[in-house]
Amino acid sequence: MITVSALNALSRVRHAFFTRETGISEGLYASNNCGFSSQDDPAKVQRNRIRAIERMEMPPEALVTVAQQHTTDVLLTDTPWPLDKLPVADGIVTTRPRLVVGVLTADCAPVLMADGKAGVVGAIHAGWRGALNGVLANAVARMVEAGAKPDRIVAGIGPCIGQRSYEVGAEFYAAFTEKDIDNQVFFSSSRREGHYMFDLPGFVAKQLARSGVREIMPMPCDTCREEGRFFSHRRATLRAEGDYGRQLSAIALER
């Protein structure tokens, strides 16, 4: 698992961006696939999730995830939901100690946030659609509702697809620049005419900063290129592999 120093500095907070390593899944899902939405053996996925949370020294039954659908919805909770009744959302916030909130990704940006003084943590799934439409601002607002202050929130942006791997078309570019012409700074030219290379972690960081978050720490990872460490939707799509695993990113308050 990977951590960021800014979140490590918070005494009451534990967090982890897990890689694809040290799990028990096989084949396309080797080895630490934590995503039930894949076609992997659910029993192996569950065991991977249990082992991951145990590595955080937290109770495995306390892991809370949601049915992610690239929405802008962020939920506040103090209890886990049954796995067969997960609410649709793309972010979770809690103030309850030893409740582990987590998101699953495979190129999208996992964002873990905490206000250690207020005792508020959050986990956000930020794909391009959610980031563009406001999931990060909604997450900060939900944390503020729970007692946090934006300028005290520390945010870690976990492993996601890097700009050199993220080629997009003209329609994608237009969606961002029509929203805000200044968004053009997150695009560079591609070798293919009419295409661009998009900086997802840079855009996510900008949205957090616009919401008042001052301490933002992105990771210099590229899930698409680093096959030995990360699952990647884009890599699997380019290879026509049919499916792919998901990384878990999680955060919790200590007592």
Strands 195-198 and 187-189: antiparallel
The torsion of the CA quartet 144, 147, 153, 156, rounded to 10 degrees, works out to: -80
Structural domain contains residue 192: no
DSSP-based three-state secondary structure for 128: helix
Over the stretch 9-56, which tens digit does the pLDDT of each residue have?
Answer: 999 999 999 999 999 999 999 999 999 999 999 999 999 999 999 999
Rounded distance, CA 65 to CA 86, Å?
7
- The reply to whether 178 falls in a domain is no
Can you give the residue range of the structural domain that contains 231?
Answer: 5-162+199-250
Alpha carbons 174 and 197: distance in angstroms, whole number = 13
Of the candidates 34, 29, 31, the one whose C-alpha atom is nearest the C-alpha of residue 17 is 34
Q: Give the C-alpha separation, 205 to 55, whole Å.
A: 28
User: Quick check: is 69 in a domain?
Assistant: yes
- What letter would DSSP give residue 83? G
* Residue 119 lies inside a defined structural domain of this protein: yes
Is 26 domain-assigned?
yes
Q: Is residue 194 part of a domain?
A: no
- In a domain, residue 134? The reply is yes
Domain tally for the chain? 1
Residue 116: pLDDT above 90?
A: yes
pTM exceeds cut of 0.95 = yes
Secondary structure percentages of the chain, helix, strand, coil, to 5: 35, 25, 45
Mean pLDDT, rounded, of the chain: 97
- What span, in angstroms and rounded, lies between the C-alpha atoms of 35 and 128? 20
77: CATH: 3.60.140.10
**Tokens representing residue 106 in the block:** 């495979």
What is the Cα–Cα distance from 210 to 225, expressed in whole angstroms?
A: 29
Note the Cα 198 to chain centre separation in Å: 17
Give domain status of residue 13, yes or no. yes
% of residues, the chain, pLDDT over 90: 99
- pLDDT more than 70, % of the chain: 100
pLDDT of 255 above 90: no
